[in-house]
Structure 1
Amino acid sequence: MKIIVADDSSFVRNIIVKSIKTNIENIEIISCVNGKEVWDCWDEHNPKWLVTDLLMPEMTGQELIKKLNDAGKNPNVIVISADIQKGTKEELEALNIKHQINKPLNPEKLQTLIDILGGA
């Protein structure tokens, strides 16, 4: 299974990648620092899941998800973000995201991520 993890924080990205690789076998993870990098490599990798932050430079998570949806890619998305405003949640629901996990990450939230991806 292929997954793209996008977060402009290398610290957060590394925590997510390490947690996934430690707990799920036969997984390929592509790391990106923003939505533009994800968009540029999407067709090459055709991932089953996108795990993304929202607030990133060059292209935000919302812009990326909308662009992927508009292009007919219909991604399975898990948003990991500190932005928990009501308007943001409503916007994400309209974009048909699968799951949202709020930052800061802790062991329980990482386990939720593993459970979602492991059951995929």
Structure 2
Amino acid sequence: MKYLVTDDSKLARRVLVKALLTYTDEAHIFQATNGLEAVKMTLKERPDIVFLDLTMPEMDGYTALPKLRKINPDIKVVVVSADVQEQAKEKVLALGAKFHIAKPINPQKLKEILESLANE
């Protein structure tokens, strides 16, 4: 499995990468600082799972999500955002995200999500 962690916050990326390292090695984790980088990285590295923030410069998560799904309709996108409003959750799920979870993600929740995605 390949993972792409997309967030404009270096700290948020670091926390998520650290948690992911429990389940995989660093060679399978890629990082992007905005939606545009995520699209480019998806074309290059073909990740299986993308962790995507919503509020980022250059291209936000709402714009990036359909582009990622167009590149790979089978890609699994997990939105990790401080925006926990119900309308944000409904919108990203309608755009094809598998999950919408609040930042910061805790390791137990990450484990549950990875197990759920592996069983799809």
Bucket of the pairwise TM-score, normalised by the shorter protein: 0.7 to 0.9
Q: Which runs of 4+ in 1 moved over 6 A?
A: none
SS of the residue 1:58 aligns to: coil
Q: Report what 1:78 is aligned to.
A: 78
- Amino acid of the residue matched to residue 73 of structure 1? N
Q: TM-score, normalised by structure 1?
A: 0.86
Q: Report what 1:100 is aligned to.
A: 100
**2: distance between equivalents of 1:47 and 1:41?**
8
Please list the CA deviations of residues 33-68 of structure 1 after superposition, one character each: whole Å capped at 9, or x if unmatched. Answer: 011101112121111100011001001111000122
**1: distance between equivalents of 2:15 and 2:39?**
22
SS of the residue 2:30 aligns to: strand
Q: Report what 1:3 is aligned to.
A: 3
Alpha-carbon offset, residue 17 of structure 1: 0.2
- 1:32-71 aligned at under 5 Å gives the runs 32-69=32-69, 71=70
- Considering only aligned residues, what root-mean-square deviation do their CA atoms show, in Å? 1.7
Please list the CA deviations of residues 59-96 of structure 1 after superposition, one character each: whole Å capped at 9, or x if unmatched. Answer: 11110001223x25122011110111222122112112
Alpha-carbon offset, residue 26 of structure 1: 4.7
Alpha-carbon offset, residue 25 of structure 1: 3.2
Gaps of 5+ in 1: none
Q: Do residues 91 (structure 1) and 71 (structure 2) align? A: no
Gaps of 5+ in 2: none
